[in-house]
Structure 1
Amino acid sequence: MSGFDLGRLGYLGLLLAVLVIWMFVQHRGQLAKSLQQLAAWGLIFVAVLAAIGLWEDIRHTVMPQQAVFAEAGRVELPRAPDGHYYVTLDINAVPVRFVVDTGATGMVLTREDASRAGLHPEDLIFHGQAMTANGAVMTAPVRLDSVGLGPFEDRGVRAFVNGGEMGQSLLGMSYLQRFDRLEISGGRMVLERG
């Protein structure tokens, strides 16, 4: 723990002590009731801290995940609560989460995802241009050494790195057309390859 964290912890402890003392002073005649209220607020505080600390685990448990059926050559992607389909691909052996966009032509990586996959944006040449809902953005063409999805692995896949701001990497038809079948039914996107 750093000195800054210890200072924050000390400040919170002092604040809690002041609140407890104020509560006892205000309710001197009703000590038992005050202790009950203090215990209830303490439990609420601990529950909130636990929920914040475990939020990532809770979110991954509640949200449906992609399912890979290697024997059948099939991948199923559940529709997320926001209505989109998301898939995690291994780009150069690094997991990267994409939003699936059947209306997009290419595979587009954010600068952050490209950097994690070993493509350093400062070494790329942003000479291409793409039209987005937010207007034109500069792009850099790249060739990905490997793209993996469950049992499927492709080599030398063409993609682009977005030169502008983009919240999520985008998976377009240039990759999706590698599958023999793409079907959306019952809140699931099914990708199959023979």
Structure 2
Amino acid sequence: MSDEIPRVAYFVLLLIALGGYLIVEFRANPGKSLRQMLAWGLIFLGLIAGFGLWEDIRNDVAPRQIVDGGRIELPKQDDGHFYIDMRLNGEAVEFMVDTGATQIALSPSDAERIGLDPETLSYSQMVATANGTAFAAPVRIDSIEIGGITDRDVAASVTDAPMDISLLGMSYLSRFARVSFEGEVMVLER
């Protein structure tokens, strides 16, 4: 609650200043003031729409991944990471490419989406993560698809710790003949 008081005070002062300005402007020239308010309102709405649609626009202009046969290009994202969208057992799953991860590490929610029950898995492997030690359950993924590439019966693990995103580690990346960087783009080739 104490963090809210300065924020509320700031907004009250802002509203008082803005309200005072509007009263003075409307008294001097109401027609012109109304047109200017409408113009600024439309500009503001345009900015909100632009920010709201930015990811869609960005994906159309600069897609998150380009798949061309056995070549996959992953542009570096704003957070400095590389992401890849794949289909596991027919379900779409987003991964962050993690060269520091030994194998595919599925989040519990992604594991459930692809048909695994995290509640019944045996979390028997101790794993070192960026957030400390966790436990993981070894699993097999029936199929992994990206573009025309399909891999079957792939080893992975499901962590017992909550994760925002699944990780694509070295055991899967080593299936590619070449993993390289071309400027700000990670290239995977079979």
Greater CA drift, 57-66 or 145-154: 57-66
Once the two structures are superposed, what CA deviation does each residue of 1:122-164 show, in whole Å capped at 9, x if it has no partner?
Answer: 2322222210121101111111110112211111111111111
Structure 1: runs of 5+ lacking an equivalent: 1-18
Relative to structure 1, the CA distance from residue 189 to residue 27 in structure 2 (aligned partners, 3 Å threshold; closer, same or farther) is closer
| Unpaired runs of at least 5, structure 2 | 1-17
Secondary structure of the 1:27 match is helix
Residues in 2 aligned to 1:79 and 1:23: alpha-carbon distance in whole angstroms:
45
Tell me the distance in 2 between the aligned counterparts of 1:160 and 1:24.
64
Q: Which whole-Å deviations, capped at 9, do the CAs of 1:72-131 have from their partners, x for residues lacking one? A: x22222222332221111111112111112222110011122222222322322222210
Distance across 2 between alignment mates of 1:106 and 1:43 = 50
Residue identity matched to 1:150 = G
Secondary structure class of the residue paired with 2:99: coil
1:95 paired with 2:95, answer no
User: TM-score w.r.t. structure 2 length?
Assistant: 0.78
Give the equivalent residue in structure 2 for 1:165. Answer: 162
**Selected match of 2:107 from 102, 107, 110:** 110
Residues 34-92 of structure 1: CA deviation (Å, up to 9, x unaligned): 2122212321343144235424412423544221121xx22222222332221111111
Match in the other structure for 1:181: 178
**Does the CA-based 8 Å contact 1:100-1:171 persist in structure 2?**
yes
Aligned twin of 2:10 = none
SS of equivalent to 2:29: helix
Separation of aligned partners in 2, 1:40 and 1:105: 55
Which residue is 1:85 aligned to?
Answer: 82
Question: Per-residue displacement from partner, 1:152-187 (whole Å, max 9, x unpaired)?
Answer: 111111111111122221111111111222222322
Q: Give the stretch that moved more between structures: 36-45 or 141-150.
A: 36-45
| Matched residue count | 172
**Match status 1:190 vs 2:187:** yes
**Superposed, which structure 2 residues align to 1:27-106 within 5 Å?**
27-70=26-69, 73-106=70-103
d(CA) in 1 for partners of 2:72 and 2:161?
A: 31
TM-score (norm 1): 0.77
| Structure 1 match to 2:131 | 134
CA distance in 1 between counterparts of 2:55 and 2:179 reads: 30
